[in-house]
């Protein structure tokens, strides 16, 4: 409790272990660093090197465990969480951040591009949620799940058919799991990022006309930063959000309100 009367411990992740997928860069790295600043231990999952993330966490005095995995292999998603749980201890939370995108006109999108995106962005998300819930329920533990959706969970977009479908699915499964697990001590919520400065948006930011059009619609007048998403994730992982179930929180600078 500080002198404002706010119980800051409600926003702490001290003593918590959180698994974050796609922890090597961008939004995933931002989430990892925010969790570390809040006192949590992060188990980072990535298909490429997470050395940069580990170095940044160490500079904050935090704890980071790297687990190499490619969630495109959906058969490995569920067993991955079980392996982490068995080898290094129980998890208190899960952030399903890993995702991919394929850009093409809908008439040209290949079946492979559809399947690849749906496997990583939706199927692996469900399997990891399922695995965490099974372990938490079996052990009588509480759990927090944060799924990274998108403003395209609410909109159509253009030239990203499989991505849009997958992110609509993430929102739907978040609500479904919240309905099933809320009374059992597991919170399932989602964050819907807007336009954030990451590798995925580099091409858009490099296009002066497209970037200006995007910024012209964002009331905040700027692109988001990974820490904007990370700090929202901390709230949804912390005790402060215990009565939130099935919420989809836009962190978009006001994009959806426009």
Q: Sheet of 143-148: strands edge to edge?
A: 63-68, 41-46, 17-21, 93-96, 143-148, 186-193, 248-251
Tell me if 53 sits within 8 A of 23, measured CB to CB. yes
Q: What pLDDT, on a 0 to 100 scale, did the predictor assign at position 203?
A: 84
Cα-based angle 44, 238, 225 (whole degrees, multiple of 5): 60
pLDDT in tens, 161-186: 999 999 999 999 999 999 999 999 99
Q: What pLDDT, on a 0 to 100 scale, did the predictor assign at position 5?
A: 64
Task: Kindly give the parts of the chain with pLDDT less than 70.
Answer: 1-5
Residues with active-site annotation: 163
Q: What pLDDT, on a 0 to 100 scale, did the predictor assign at position 255?
A: 97
Q: What pLDDT, on a 0 to 100 scale, did the predictor assign at position 201?
A: 85
pLDDT in tens, 52-80: 999 999 999 999 999 999 999 999 998 99
Q: Which domains does the chain have, with CATH numbers?
A: 8-198+226-253 (3.40.50.720)
Q: Give this prediction's pTM.
A: 0.95
Q: What pLDDT, on a 0 to 100 scale, did the predictor assign at position 1?
A: 53
């Amino acid at each position: 409790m500080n002198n404002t009367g706010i119980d800051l411990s409600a926003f702490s992740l001290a003593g918590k272990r959180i698994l974050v997928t796609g922890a090597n860069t961008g939004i995933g790295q931002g989430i990892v660093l925010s969790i570390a600043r809040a006192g949590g231990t992060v188990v980072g999952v990535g298909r490429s090197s997470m050395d940069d993330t580990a170095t940044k966490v160490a500079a904050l005095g935090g704890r980071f465990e790297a687990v190499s995995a490619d969630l495109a292999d959906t058969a490995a998603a569920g067993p991955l969480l079980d392996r982490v749980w068995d080898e290094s201890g129980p998890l208190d939370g899960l952030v399903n951040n890993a995702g991919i995108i394929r850009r093409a006109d809908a008439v040209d999108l290949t079946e492979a591009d559809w399947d690849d995106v749906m496997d990583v962005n939706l199927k692996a998300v469900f399997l990891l949620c399922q695995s965490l819930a099974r372990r938490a329920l079996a052990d009588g533990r509480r759990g927090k799940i944060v799924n990274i959706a998108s403003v395209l969970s609410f909109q159509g977009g253009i030239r990203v058919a499989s991505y849009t479908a997958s992110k609509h699915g993430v929102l739907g499964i978040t609500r479904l799991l919240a309905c099933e697990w809320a009374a059992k001590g597991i919170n399932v919520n989602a964050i819907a990022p807007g336009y954030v400065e990451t590798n995925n948006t580099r091409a858009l930011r490099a296009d002066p006309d497209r970037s200006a059009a995007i910024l012209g619609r964002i009331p905040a007048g700027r692109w988001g930063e990974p820490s904007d998403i990370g700090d929202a994730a901390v709230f949804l992982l912390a005790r402060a959000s215990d009565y939130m179930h099935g919420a989809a929180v836009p962190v978009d600078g006001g994009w959806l309100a426009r």
